[in-house]
Amino acid sequence: MPLQNHLTELERKHRALEREIQDTLNRPSSDDMRLAELKRKKLQLKDEITRLRTSESVVH
């Protein structure tokens, strides 16, 4: 998979997690453990996106 396609897919997943986090926060009985897991996954995706963008700019 070309790098740009991979980045696009990671960004899509990141946005989907952000929506899911917001949905969870808007529920009266939000699960704190679930919310923490979603935030952890979102941060991992952000770190991966940043790492790939940095490595891409070094190559160019």
Over the stretch 6-44, which tens digit does the pLDDT of each residue have? Answer: 999 999 999 999 999 999 999 888 789 999 999 999 999
Query: What integer pLDDT is reported at residue 13 of this predicted model?
Result: 97
Query: What integer pLDDT is reported at residue 19 of this predicted model?
Result: 97
pLDDT level of residue 56 (50, 70, 90 thresholds):
confident
CA distance 3 to 31: 35
9 or 1, which is more confident? 9
Query: What integer pLDDT is reported at residue 48 of this predicted model?
Result: 97
CA distance 1 to 5: 7
Residue with tokens 């808007």: 26
**Residue 32 is encoded by which pair of tokens?**
């704190």
Is residue 10 within 8 Å of 49, Cβ to Cβ? yes
Domain residue ranges of the chain, discontinuous segments joined by +: 2-54
